[in-house]
Each structure stands twice: as structure tokens, then as C-alpha cells.
Chains A and B, each alone.
Chain A
Amino acid sequence: MNTQAQYLKAIYLAQQQADGPASTGAVADFLDVSPASANEMIGKLESRGLLEHEKYKGVDLTDEGIQQARDALQNYCIIERFLVEVLEVEQFRTEAKQLEGVIDETVAERLDTIIDREPQCPDCFDAEDDVCGLLDVEAEVTSD
């Protein structure tokens, strides 16, 4: 997953949490980057027609931006679920974030052939908990 996809996913989740436009600060927090870096990338994404940015109001994904963000979130869900179900990784959130930059969507699609993912993915993703709401990870949550 490239930088653009990671930004779109973060904006999508920040918008869900805000139930409206996302602040650039929230996007920067999601990605653990500086607000200046986030601002720069948001400008690029706006010029590509993937979002609208209004000063003092925040960032709003366009339909195309939403589609790409949902694809990116789905890939992320596949990586997390694969780490939990197949490799039994306890620190799967941290590792999924490390891996998402190296695991391309075609690779994620293949990993998807051996995991149990629900058809409503990625709507079941819980942004607060940073994991699919349908994935049984109670033990991992407490050990994180």
C-alpha cells in the first residue's frame, strides 16, 4: 500500500470518528506524521480530485477518494486478520501498520484466500479499536 492509500484510509477513518470533515491534525495523528507533512499530502490529494479541503472546516473525501480509501482499509483488514488467524501475532496492530507499506493489494488478495473475512468488510472496521469489530481478539487486546 502506497502513501496515498495510507492517507486516504486515515482520512476515511478520521471522518468516521468526526462524523463529518476530518481535521488535518486528526489525520496527522492517525499516521503519526507532522501536521505540515499531512497538509502537504492533503494538497496533493485535493489536486488529484480525491478530496476537498476547506480551511477551518477540514477534509472531505470525494466519491473516488472514498472508494480508494475503502479498498485500502480492506487491504489493511486482510493484513490484520491474516496476522491474527494464520500467524497468531499478538501485536498485530503494530505489525499491520509496519507491513501495510510492503504488502500490495494483489498480495493481500491472495492472503485473503485463507482467512475468514465477512462480506460487509470494511464496514465492520472499528476505528477506535483499530481492528475489525467482528474479529475475536479479546486476548490480544488485553495483552497489548
Chain B
Amino acid sequence: MSLRAPIASDHQLARLLQIGIVLEEVVEARAEKHAEATQDAEVVAMLEDAVAESAEHRERLEAIIADLDAETVPFDEIQTLVEAQYEADQDFDGILYDQLCNEETAYKFYDDLIGAIEASDADFGVDRTHLLSVLETIRDEEADGVEEVTELMEDYR
């Protein structure tokens, strides 16, 4: 429970969805960099799946944002920001751990966002049922992602 939640307007909702898109872009860009840095076929496949999944989540969020008349930050801009601070010498454990953080963070973000939307009585410019259904699907896919990375980490122990 927080002091200033829940979301009271389309503007606030659009801003949070924008942040969701940036998070997906960060996941996508970091997973791409990780995939370049490892030779392990299973890990590379997992990272490539994560990249594809983030791109798909981004597109779903962009479709909602378009209905709210808001703009998004282009992927290449976020990619540049990620690359500027990416530590290229991450070891294998570091890569898996970072990918776990990616998935867990995304899950937490969508879970909190869904909670804030449910707690809000604002009348949004997008269909609330559709909005929640999209976000719940994405959240559940992030939960699957957490499980997948955790299993992979256990396999390599």
C-alpha cells in the first residue's frame, strides 16, 4: 500500500506503460549482449527466446499506448544506453543471474501495475478488461521466464 497510488489518469497509465516498454527494451538489449558473450547452446537459445518474447511484449504494450495517444522511446535509443553501461566481461554465472533479474523485475513491475490498475477507479481511455488481460498474460509469461532461468541455473550447478 502506498501514499500516492493508484493510477488516476490516462497520462499516468501511459507513463507506466512507457516504463514497461523501456524495461522490455532493456531486457531485449541486455539478453542480446549476453547471447553474444556465451557459447553455450542451451543458454544462447534461452536468451534468444527472451529477446523474442520481450520484443513481442513491447509490441503489445505499444498497441495500448497508441490508443492512449502517447509516444514510446525507440528501441535503438535504449539499446545505445544499455551498451554504454554494459559490462562486457560478465562471466557465465553473471549472465544467468542478470537474466534472472531481468525476468523477476519484469514480473514484479507487471504485478504491481496490475494491482495499481485494479485499485484505481479511473475511467481509462482503453478498455480496462482488455488492458488487464494483456498485462496478466505478459506477467504470467515473465513468471514462466523466471522458472526457466532458475531451472537452467540449477542444471549448471
Contacts and interface: CB of A to CB of B under 8 A. Distances in A.
A103 B4 contact: no
Interface string A103-127: 1101101110111000000000000
Interface in A73-113: 82, 86-87, 89, 95, 97-104, 106-107, 109-111, 113
Interface stretch (A1-9, A16-24, A61-69): A1-9
B73 A87 contact: yes
Contacts of A31: 3
B85 A102 contact: no
Contact of B16 (A97, A99, A110): A99
27 contacts: A2-B1, A3-B1, A86-B22, A86-B73, A87-B73, A95-B12, A98-B12, A99-B19, A100-B2, A101-B3, A101-B4, A101-B116, A102-B2, A102-B112, A102-B113, A102-B116, A104-B108, A106-B101, A107-B23, A107-B108, A109-B101, A109-B105, A110-B101, A110-B105, A113-B85, A114-B22, A114-B26
Interface of A: 1-3, 6, 31, 33, 82, 86-87, 89, 95, 97-104, 106-107, 109-111, 113-115
Contacts of B4: 6, 97-98, 100-101
Q: How large is the interface on B (under 10, 10 to 19, 20 to 34, 35 or more residues)?
A: 20 to 34
Contacts of B3: 3, 6, 31, 33, 101
Nearest to B85: A113
Contacts of B54: none
Interface of B: 1-5, 7-8, 12, 15-16, 18-19, 22-23, 26, 30, 73, 78, 81-82, 84-85, 101-102, 104-105, 108-109, 112-113, 116
Q: Is the interface of A mostly helix, strand, loop or mixed?
A: helix
Contacts of B19: 82, 87, 99, 103, 107, 111
Nearest to A31: B3
A99 B6 CA distance: 9
Contacts of A33: 3
A101 B18 contact: no
Given A31-B3, A33-B3, A104-B108, A110 B73 contact: no
Given A106-B105, A111-B26, 4 more contacts: A87-B19, A87-B22, A110-B105, A114-B85
A109 B75 CA distance: 19
Interface centre among B16, B26, B109 (most CB of A within 10 A): B109
A87 B23 CA distance: 12
